[in-house]
């Protein structure tokens, strides 16, 4: 099997990777690929094989199994996405006790109020960049309020987050990690000194398992880091991608406007069709692993192509059709296995409320023909556009 050079696909691959994934899938569900910088890894593009890989304990999340210690561990610490059992089990148990369904549902009135406040600010102009004016402020406000982070610091978080998910280079990535890590250390110390409070970070500081176990300082920093980045960056693109998908499929938008009961279907189909996470984070083979008839040797890096999996015609018939009435059960936008997204209920809640408010308040919402061309988020991790010009 020859190595696939992803760099040869060019900018069109970033704008629309799905035809390329389909071409790869036609010749097999697993491929060895190479990035323009020379980095090689194995890419899984078949739904059945990808779902199996996401839950396979032979595919570790910690790069220590192949002798690598990433800079992130020294600056931020080990968080859930980089931990394996039993460490992952322990960390998830501690955070799950604080990040509850009841806490998530209690945020509904605040999210509803916030979306209407943002719509009020947008309305007089008649046009806006939906990302800056709406899709970004909703989740960053929610996660910062949930964690107890002051409003004045949110612009800094956006800069750090942009560099962390799509860094310009290694120095900018390390700088963003150091900036955010230092900020979180200071915030945690302030909250320790202030004592018990109702925010999530204070809850994590106080969280204690039945055996007395609790999160250490580095673990608290790493957990707050993960919740901040994963807790808003993906939801920004869930909202903007769903709006973009609806505006580019006017018949589906008309169906949703005619029947608001299709709202959940629109969210789930957007997650399947063009979700905010294009690929998983890396996994590493502890031993040789056979996926889809292909043997991946021990010590290799593996990436599961979430976007590719959810366009597999073996799982979803006519997968390139955006259909908000589709049965989307089995999509993998939030992952699978022990690393299934802890914040999925919050992301869905924010997505539903943000979309409902937007459609109710702007019945003539459309793409702005005078807006700049879409600028896609670079890299393989996040799927979305930097800006989405709309008008009403």
User: If residue 129 lies in a helix (H) or strand (E), which one and from where to where?
Assistant: strand 127-129
Q: Give the mean pLDDT of 371-380.
A: 94
**pLDDT per residue as tens digits for the range 211-241:** 677 888 888 899 888 888 887 889 999 999 9
**Residue 88 reports pLDDT greater than 70:** yes
Q: What is the pLDDT of residues 147-196, one digit of tens each?
A: 888 888 877 877 887 788 777 788 888 888 899 889 889 888 988 888 88
> Within 13 Å, how many C-alpha atoms sit on residue 347's CB side?
29
Measured CA to CA, the distance from residue 260 to residue 255 in angstroms comes to 8
Both structure tokens of 374: 């879409």
Name the strand (E) or helix (H) holding 367.
strand 366-367
Q: Quick one: pLDDT at residue 210?
A: 62
- The CA distance from 379 to 36, in Å, is 11
The per-residue pLDDT for 292 is: 94
Write down the mean pLDDT value for the chain: 92
Confidence (pLDDT) at 381: 93
The domain segmentation of the chain, as residue ranges, is 4-391
Q: Whole-model pTM?
A: 0.93
CA distance 132 to 122: 11
- Please say if the pLDDT value at position 356 is more than 90: yes
180, 225 contact by CB (below 8 A): yes
Confidence band of 75 (pLDDT split at 50, 70, 90): confident
Q: Is the pLDDT of residue 22 over 90?
A: yes
pLDDT value at residue 151 = 80
Q: At the top level of CATH, which class does the domain 4-391 belong to?
A: mainly alpha
Whether 385 has a pLDDT exceeding 90, the answer reads yes
Burial environment of residue 312 by CB neighbours within 10 A (0 to 12, 13 to 18, 19 or more): buried
d(CA 57, CA 67) in angstroms, rounded, equals 18
CA distance 384 to 10: 17
* Ordered DSSP codes for 20-66: HHHHHHHT-SEEEEE-TTS-EEEEE--HHHHHHHHT-TTEES-GGGG
* Mean pLDDT calculated for residue range 82-94: 91
pLDDT digits (tens, 9 = 90+) for 326-338: 999 999 999 999 9
- The share of the chain scoring above pLDDT 70, in percent, equals 99
């Amino acid at each position: 099997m020859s190595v696939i050079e992803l760099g040869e696909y060019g900018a069109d691959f970033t704008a629309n990777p799905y035809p390329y994934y389909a071409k790869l899938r036609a010749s097999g569900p697993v491929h060895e690929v190479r990035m323009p910088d020379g980095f090689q890894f194995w890419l899984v593009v078949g739904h059945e094989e990808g779902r199996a890989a996401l839950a396979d304990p032979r595919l570790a999340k910690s790069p220590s199994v192949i002798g690598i210690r990433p800079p992130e561990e020294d600056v931020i610490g080990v968080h859930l996405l980089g931990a394996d059992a039993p460490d992952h089990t322990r960390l998830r148990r501690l955070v799950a006790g604080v990040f509850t369904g009841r806490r998530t549902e209690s945020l509904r009135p605040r999210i509803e109020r916030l979306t209407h406040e943002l719509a009020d600010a947008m309305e007089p102009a008649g046009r806006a960049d939906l990302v800056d004016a709406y899709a970004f402020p909703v989740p960053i406000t929610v996660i910062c309020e949930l964690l107890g982070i002051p409003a004045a610091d949110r612009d800094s978080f956006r800069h750090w987050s942009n560099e962390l998910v799509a860094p310009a280079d290694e120095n900018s990535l390390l700088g963003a990690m150091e900036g955010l890590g230092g900020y979180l250390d200071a915030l945690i110390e302030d909250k320790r000194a202030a004592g018990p409070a109702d925010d999530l970070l204070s809850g994590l500081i106080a969280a204690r398992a039945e055996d007395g176990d609790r999160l250490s300082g580095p673990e608290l920093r790493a957990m707050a880091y993960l919740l901040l980045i994963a807790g808003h960056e993906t939801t920004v693109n869930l909202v903007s991608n769903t709006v973009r998908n609806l505006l580019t499929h006017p018949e589906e938008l008309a169906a949703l406007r005619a029947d608001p009961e299709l709202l959940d279907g629109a969210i789930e189909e957007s997650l399947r069709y063009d979700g905010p996470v294009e690929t998983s984070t890396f996994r590493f083979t502890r031993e040789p692993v056979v996926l889809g008839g292909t043997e991946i040797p021990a010590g290799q890096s593996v990436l599961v192509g979430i976007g590719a999996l959810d366009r597999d015609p073996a799982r979803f018939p006519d997968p390139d059709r955006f259909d908000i009435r589709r049965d989307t059960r089995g999509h993998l936008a939030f992952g699978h296995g022990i690393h299934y997204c802890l914040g999925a209920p919050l992301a869905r809640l924010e997505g539903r409320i943000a979309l409902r408010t937007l459609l109710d308040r702007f019945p003539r919402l459309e793409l702005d023909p005078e807006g700049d061309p879409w600028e896609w988020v670079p890299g393989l991790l996040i799927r979305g556009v930097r800006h989405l010009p709309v008008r009403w």
